[in-house]
Structure formats: C-alpha cells, structure tokens
C-alpha cells in the first residue's frame, strides 16, 4: 500500500524541491529541468507555459507521475513520488490523477458512456456501477442525452467533454491537462475552459494545465513560465482564494 502524510487544507498538493531532469551524458547532456522549486496547493488551477524545449512538458510528465526526476524531490500528496517504482507510480496515477490531452484519445467505435467507463474497467468496478458513474460524469460535463453517441457523432468540443468526463469519473485529486483546447476553435475553447474552471471552483479539483495560449492561461489562478529548464516570474491571472 502507498502511505501518505495528511494534507492540511491549502498545503501543497504538489512540490518540487530542486528538481533536475537530464538527458544524455557528457557534452551531449541536456538539462530539461535545472533545479526547479515549485509548489501547487490543493484546489489551485495552474497554467504551465513556455516555448518548445523550455521544460514545461517535462514538468507535466513528472507531476503526472509519468516520469521521475534525475535528482531532487517530487512530493505528491505527501508521498515522495519521484522515488516510487513504475508499478507504484501507476497505482498512484490510477487512484489520484486524471489526464486530458490535446487529442481526445477516444475509442472510435465505442459510445461516449463506454469511453468514460474505461478507467473503471481497469479498476474492476462492476458493470452496473460503472455505467451509473459514467452517466453521472457525462452529466457533469453537460452531455446528458449524448451517452450513446460515438466520437464520429460528436463535435470536437463534445469529444473533449467526453475526455474530461473520462478523466474525472474516478474522482481524482488532480487533473493534468496538456493543451486541452489545442484542436478547438475559439467558441469551443471558451466552453471547455469554462467547464474546467467550474470543476475547479465548484468541486475543488486541482488542475495543472500546459498551454501556449495566453488567453487560455488567463482562466487559471496563476501561470508558471518555464524557459531553459527554469521558472521565470509570471503574473497571476486571478487571486487564489
């Protein structure tokens, strides 16, 4: 079993302490992250920004327990997640983290409800309970009545709503969103960001979102800007409660 320390309200859910991530050796070595210190509180909505190669994707992968630091410490919910082996990181992801990507990653020949049920299938949740939870998650993202539609029968914005429902159906502690509006037009982008903001404000879901769009980052509590593996000062988008 994973053991975790108690997490008081507004204490850091995510903490980097001098995190380095390096690739290669000798003169070919590249530091994707170079001694990063970072704290994100439970219930925050944070945007991570930066140009290609800045370290933003590497930081997201470590936050989502898809990768580990070369050195330094990454704490998630009081657990030194950077020292967990691959199997325990998978357990942590399955229990506490949901993911949303630019590509919706939906199974094309299955319905919206069946796509949302997938994380519950992996958990071994009984079929009737899975369906109830999937229907509830789809209702939360405004897709009541669309449960039997396949991705081909849904707009891009609706497909991303299905992907968000799939990410939240397990009631995660953290939602990691990688360019969630990258494939959407302006109106659909606004709809998805309003949805994410509502999940954050009304349900207390912690969200870490990678984006290169300032208009999208403006929905977050604050932005964290990466350049050359370092965090540079950013301007908060709105006050944190």
pLDDT single digits (tens) 91-146: 999 899 999 998 889 999 999 999 999 999 988 999 999 999 999 999 999 999 99
The candidate with the shortest Cα–Cα distance to 183, out of 163, 160, 166, 165, is 160
Contact 58, 33 (CB under 8 A): yes
E-state strands within the chain: 12-23, 30-41, 45-49, 71-76, 79-80, 97-101, 174-178, 206-210, 222-227, 230-232
Mean per-residue pLDDT, 219-232: 94
Residue 240 is predicted with a pLDDT of 38
Q: Determine if the pTM surpasses 0.85.
A: yes
Sorted by where each starts, the structural domains of the chain and their CATH numbers stand as 12-232 (3.40.50.300)
As a whole-number percent, the residues of the chain with pLDDT over 90 amount to 83
- List CB contacts of 40: < 8 A, sequence separation 6 or more: 12, 13, 14, 15, 46, 206, 208
- Could you report the per-residue pLDDT of 154-200, keeping only the tens digit for each? 999 999 999 999 999 999 999 999 999 988 999 999 999 999 999 99
Q: What mean pLDDT is reported for the chain?
A: 90
Order the strands of the 12-23 sheet from edge to edge: 30-41, 12-23, 71-76, 79-80
* Confidence class for position 5, pLDDT limits 50, 70, 90: very low
User: Six-digit token pair at 167?
Assistant: 């990410």
Residue 234 is predicted with a pLDDT of 59
Contact 81, 92 (CB under 8 A): yes
Angle between helices 156-168 and 127-140 (to 10 degrees): 130
Residue 29 is predicted with a pLDDT of 87
- Could you report the per-residue pLDDT of 146-159, keeping only the tens digit for each? 999 999 999 999 99
Residue 10 is predicted with a pLDDT of 62
pLDDT of 69 above 60? yes
Residue 27 is predicted with a pLDDT of 80
pLDDT of 76 above 60? yes
Contact 167, 99 (CB under 8 A): yes
């Amino acid at each position: 079993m994973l053991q975790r320390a108690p997490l008081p309200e507004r204490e850091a859910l995510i903490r980097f302490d001098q995190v380095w991530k390096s690739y290669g050796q000798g003169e070919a070595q590249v530091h994707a992250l170079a001694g990063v210190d970072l704290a994100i509180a439970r219930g925050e909505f944070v945007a991570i920004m930066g140009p290609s190669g800045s370290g933003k994707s590497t930081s997201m992968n470590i936050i989502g327990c898809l990768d580990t630091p070369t050195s330094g410490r990454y704490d998630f919910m009081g657990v030194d997640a950077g020292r967990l082996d691959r199997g325990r990181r998978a357990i942590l992801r399955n229990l506490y983290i949901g993911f949303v990507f630019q590509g919706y990653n939906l199974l094309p020949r299955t319905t919206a409800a069946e796509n949302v049920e997938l994380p519950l299938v992996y958990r071994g949740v009984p079929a009737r309970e899975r369906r109830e939870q999937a229907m509830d998650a789809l209702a939360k993202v405004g897709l009541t009545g669309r449960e039997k539609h396949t991705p081909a029968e849904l707009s891009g914005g609706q497909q991303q709503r299905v992907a968000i429902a799939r990410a939240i159906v397990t009631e995660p502690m953290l939602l990691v969103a990688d360019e969630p509006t990258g494939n959407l037009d302006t109106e659909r982008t606004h709809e998805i960001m309003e949805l994410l903001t509502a999940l954050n404000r009304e349900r207390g879901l912690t969200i870490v979102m990678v984006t290169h769009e300032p208009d999208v980052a403006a929905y977050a509590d604050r932005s964290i800007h990466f350049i050359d593996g370092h965090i540079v000062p950013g301007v908060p988008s709105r006050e944190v409660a």
